[in-house]
Chain A
Amino acid sequence: MNRNKQYLLFEAIGLVDEDWILEAETAGRKPAVVNKRRAFSSKVTWYGIAAGFVLLLSLYVFQVLNDHVLLPNEISPPVSQSNLSNGSETSSTEQIENNLESSAESIERIPTWEEQTMPERFPEMSYDGVQYWVRSTSLLPEQVGEPVADITASGYDVYTETSHTTDAQLFILDGISPSVALAVQYAGDDHFYPCISDAYFPETLGDLVNDMNLRENMSFNRIYYDASNESAYISRVYTLPDPSVIWDFLFSDLSLKNEGDAHYQVNQIDISVAIPVLGIQNLSLGVNSDNYMQTNITGVASSFYIGPERAEAFIAYVLENGILESEESISYTDPEPGSEEGAAALEEPVAESVSEAVSHPASSGTTEDAGSPAKPAGTEGQSSASRPPAA
């Protein structure tokens, strides 16, 4: 056994760059950025948990009384018709428990190898030193270009702890750079699926747009806007009558450098985007409070500095021109739960303080401006929420 040589290798790994060692020291995966549907203040959540606990305690007490205090034939659990027809008398409680168990099982259970589709069985493959991950979306034949290579795809059966391989063929995905994604067809399967590189990192915004052919392939869905101050929180969902304005606001300077995850944080305004050819239905493209446009559509964080003028102009445009689909506002002033004052405080309209935050979105260095959001250069005389001039 090459024990000394193993040590040599282990020692050599210890000599890698200090920056990498430090990076690995604190490395970990960021939580996925998801488009917010709803958000709740922590106080509302805690009140809900308390209420739920009281309810459960009441049910438990009732059950104890039912079992030990009341005579069994005075109260009997209801018997459903379906149970009678089965010839068994299953209580409704047991029925509910059975349903919950089966629901939980269906949510948590990983499909067996036999139940899985080909992309689920063989989700990863390697080509030219790059790892690709397969999405389950089927492609149309016209989306598939020339063949690239014959490869071997690998998979792992978690139940039997067995590795599997299968032959597959890689193709160009029409309009998409191979550095981003290819199409794969497994041996014995008629379908084509997109497989996405895990090494793709666009250096500039222009690379991102061109490599992924975003103007052809990407569509914009709902826009989520959250604002808060020390007393209230508001969450709004918009759609834009003409989503193409997003290109003008956020993609006008294609030379912007990709700064990766250095500035990645929770979005101030968040757009749900879809890229169906890559199997993407709902990923994030947004603007954060440091005036970066950021996105996770490549699978890793990308961020591009667009500056405060463009960031504020976009947010203002959405707030003034967007169609408001829904709104949720929560006041988190500090009443006693259950008190009259508390109930009244929660019912009070939040309009004034939160609307202030909504009308004058916070951005770095502009807290004292109580007027209209700053206009991009060259738009003087136009309305404050108009489209920016073409680049």
Chain B
Amino acid sequence: MEDCQIIDLYWNRSEAAITETSRKFGGFCRSIAMHILDNAEDAEECINDAFLAAWNTIPPQRPKKLSAFLGRITRNIALDRYDYNTAQKRNRQFHCILDELEECLAAGLDTEAEYESQQIAQVIRLFLEGCNTENRNIFLRRYFYADSIEEIAKRFAYSESKIKSLLFRMRKQLKKVLEKEGILL
């Protein structure tokens, strides 16, 4: 079923919207949730919450790209769930991803300033605009989709060491861009 047809089901408040969403995007959302949570039960709960969130926001929303819309919701819910989980249940791989992102944060600087996600997103957008397509895709596979290094290496037919080097350089560049734009986290 096309995305627009599924969205029409939401607008018509037909319960078939959830069934069709699950059929088309269930695997996709599960993949994102599992990458962050690494726990099947938590991931299933996260996906159910994501579908509920979609039901509650469509209408009035009419997303242009349903997969991106659901991907974002799933990701945010999974992140909240990850934060909620105890330390013992934390996903080591996602822990690594957060540690990697810590490298982009300037150390020992102003910690009182508060930034909205949107402000930071604007700077990240600026950074990604300056990257070539492949590098941008690799960056997003790691930090949006939370893929493992091994998965990214297979997908792009590169060695794991090359992916690690590339992401390392991109984080350094992102840090410079954040500092230059005055985003001091």
**Which residues does A use to contact B, with CB under 8 Å?**
1-3, 5-25, 27-29, 31, 124, 126, 129, 131, 154, 156, 158, 161, 163, 198-199, 201, 300
Contact = CB atoms under 8 A, between A and B. Distances in A.
A15 B173 contact: no
A7 B79 contact: yes
Contact of B169 (A3, A7, A131): A131
A158 B161 contact: yes
B121 interface: yes
B144 A12 contact: no
A126 to B, nearest CB: 7
Nearest to B102: A6
The size bracket of the interface on B is 35 or more
Given A22-B65, A156-B161, A27 B101 contact: no
Contacts of A5: 102, 105, 185
A16 B133 contact: no
B117 A129 contact: no
Given A1-B102, A21-B72, 16 more contacts: A2-B102, A6-B102, A8-B120, A12-B118, A15-B118, A16-B121, A16-B125, A17-B125, A22-B68, A25-B28, A27-B133, A27-B134, A27-B137, A29-B155, A29-B156, A300-B134
Contacts of B159: 158
B155 A198 contact: no
Contact of A23 (B121, B133, B143, B164): B133
B141 interface: yes
9 contacts: A2-B105, A7-B79, A8-B115, A23-B137, A24-B136, A27-B133, A28-B155, A29-B156, A29-B157
Contacts of B98: 3, 6-7, 10
Contacts of B79: 7, 10-11
B31 to A, nearest CB: 10
Interface string B17-39: 00000000000100000000000
B5 interface: no
Contacts of B105: 2, 5-6, 9
Interface in B124-144: 124-125, 128, 130, 132-134, 136-138, 140-141, 143-144
Contacts of A25: 28, 67, 71, 145
A28 B156 contact: yes
B117 A15 contact: yes
B124 A18 contact: no
B22 to A, nearest CB: 18
A46 B109 CA distance: 65
Contacts of A17: 125
Nearest to A4: B83
Contacts of B164: 156
Top 5 nearest A-B pairs by Cβ distance? A27-B137, A15-B121, A12-B120, A24-B140, A18-B68
A31 B105 CA distance: 36
A154 B133 CA distance: 22
B124 A16 contact: yes
Contacts of A131: 169
B165 interface: yes
Nearest to B94: A10
Contacts of B137: 23-24, 27
Contacts of B140: 13, 16, 20-21, 24
B71 A9 contact: no
Nearest to B157: A29
A158 B75 CA distance: 33
A29 B134 contact: yes
B130 A129 contact: yes
A287 to B, nearest CB: 24
Contacts of A18: 64-65, 68-69
Interface string B140-174: 11011100000000011111010011000100010
Contacts of A19: 65
B85 interface: no
